[in-house]
Amino acid sequence: MKQLINQPLSSGVVQRAGGGSIPALDLTDEFIYVLGQVKADFPSMGVQREFERCWLAIEKDKPGSPFLPAEYQPGPEPAWGDKSDQEVIFQILSSRRYRYLARELKWTLINSYCINSLKQSLFENDIYLLEPSEYNMSALVGAMKSQCKCSGECQCDPDSLRPETLIVGISRLAHSGDLNKLNIHKVKQMDPEKLSDQIKDITRYDSSMDIKQVIEDIHALADNEGNTDQDRAVNYVLCNNPLIYIKTQDIYYANSERRNTQPQARFMGIRTQAERSGERHFVKVVFDYQHLNSGATESWCSLVDVTDEYPFLLTGFKPYVASY
């Protein structure tokens, strides 16, 4: 029996008809394919103080001790000093001994804006309240690890250097004023440096022509909630199609193999075109570039099937020609 999932037209999504592979969903449920950063908060003072007890045991190198240190004096603030809550939570949950506390936390997916020269986030926006399972809890904890690679004294804000993380799941509409809850089915870190290394393995460019900046430029456009067909398609190709980064690098450097070549083009942005074939929903994701010397533009595209919870690629990355 086919199910009909009604989604508001204002979200950019039309009614969705699907086969038996689609789970039983409420009319307000949405498929989500989103990029963001994972944050954990203490829901109560009791949970915060339990983390403090574990932190003191780790600091005294007595993780199995049932007692607080004899010199401990309770104070208005937890005893981890200059450490941020996120740093402490990650360090404690990294030990399997204290993993029971992970279920007690409030998990949120956020977008960070206005990252300044000191790698500090000036504004954060909560997107979803996460509902992890035991299966993906370890991946969620790993997504909190700071990516700071400074040696010696560091001025980076570790909370702003959490890795970009892909979350796939189903969102349930919350009551007015509350965040929508996202039931997590998949968690995957999207570290630009690791992606850069993987892409270099399949390209002719040497390490001096770092593709990391290309990845960061393009990923900056994944600033969405991943709940419309168009957003899910964009996020899918950014996370799964290496050809977009390889071709962007080719266009930037005019297919040159020379070292230290200045970019010959710039990335202008992404646009989408929704299509439909029978019961299947497709989105064409178009990447636009402009050559700096001539001013001429060039466009390439990928076609993505977004009918079900997990999108998939229909075409790799090919020249885009407008049909009408």
Q: Determine, yes or no, domain membership for 80.
A: no
Nearest to 77 by CA among 54, 98, 52, 58: 52
Q: Residue 97 pLDDT more than 70?
A: yes
The phi and psi torsions of 177 (rounded to 5 degrees) equal 90, -15
Q: What is the pLDDT of residues 209-251, one digit of tens each?
A: 567 777 877 887 778 899 999 999 999 999 999 899 888 888 8
Q: Determine, yes or no, domain membership for 191.
A: yes
**257-282 burial by CB neighbour count: b if 16+ within 10 A, else e?**
eeeeeeeebebeebebbbeeeeeebb
Q: What is the pLDDT of residue 118?
A: 44
Residue 151 structure tokens: 């040696």
Nearest to 312 by CA among 205, 237, 215: 237
Q: What is the pLDDT of residue 261?
A: 67
Q: What is the pLDDT of residues 266-320, one digit of tens each?
A: 888 899 999 888 889 999 999 999 998 899 999 999 999 999 999 999 999 999 9
d(CA 259, CA 149): 25
Q: Determine, yes or no, domain membership for 135.
A: yes
Q: Which residues pair with 131 in a beta bridge?
A: 183
Q: Determine, yes or no, domain membership for 31.
A: yes
Q: Read off the pLDDT band of 189 (50, 70, 90).
A: confident
Q: What is the pLDDT of residues 99-153, one digit of tens each?
A: 999 999 999 999 865 444 444 455 678 899 999 888 889 999 998 887 666 655 5
> Tokens 């600033």 map to which residue?
223
Q: What is the pLDDT of residue 285?
A: 96
The structural domain count of the chain equals 1
The phi and psi torsions of 286 (rounded to 5 degrees) equal -110, 130
Q: What is the pLDDT of residue 104?
A: 94
Q: Read off the pLDDT band of 32 (50, 70, 90).
A: very high
d(CA 268, CA 288): 5
Q: What is the pLDDT of residues 251-264, one digit of tens each?
A: 887 765 554 567 88
Q: Determine, yes or no, domain membership for 89.
A: no
- Domain hosting residue 26, numbered range: 3-42+105-319
Q: Read off the pLDDT band of 19 (50, 70, 90).
A: very low
Largest distance between two CA atoms of the chain? 77
Q: Determine, yes or no, domain membership for 47.
A: no
Nearest to 128 by CA among 257, 35, 15: 35
